[in-house]
Amino acid sequence: MEKGKSSDCKDCSGKYVLITDEEDPRLALFEKPLPCYGCGIGWSFLLLGFLCPLIWYCAATLYLCRYYNKDPRERIGLAASAIAALVCTIIILITLAVIFL
C-alpha cells in the first residue's frame, strides 16, 4: 500500500477523506488544528501576556463573553489567561497599597 492511499476507497482516488460521524456531524468541526500554530488563542495570549499584561485582560474578556463556545478546546487556555489577569490585578493592588499607604 502506498503512503497516503487508502486500500478500500474507490471514490477518493488516493486522497485523504475526512472522517465524520453520521450521528453527530459537529464532531468533524474539531478535526482542524487550533489557530496560533496549534496552541490556541488562550494559550498564546497567556504566553504573550508576560510581555504585555493587557493581553491577559483581552483573553479574560473573551472568556467572559464565552468565545470558547465556537471551539471548546479554547476554554482551558482562556481560563488560564483570565486567572493570570486576576493574579496580575491582585499584585498591582497590593503594590499600590504598599506604595501609597
Convert the pLDDT of each residue in 16-64 to its tens digit.
555 565 666 665 666 677 777 778 888 999 999 999 999 999 999 999 9
Over range 58-71, report the average pLDDT: 88
Over range 76-100, report the average pLDDT: 95
Report how far apart, in Å, the C-alpha atoms of 67 and of each of 36, 71, 76 are.
16, 8, 12
Report pTM.
Answer: 0.68
Residue pair 40/68 in contact (Cβ under 8 Å)? The answer is no
Give 8's contacts (C-beta < 8 A, 6+ positions apart): none
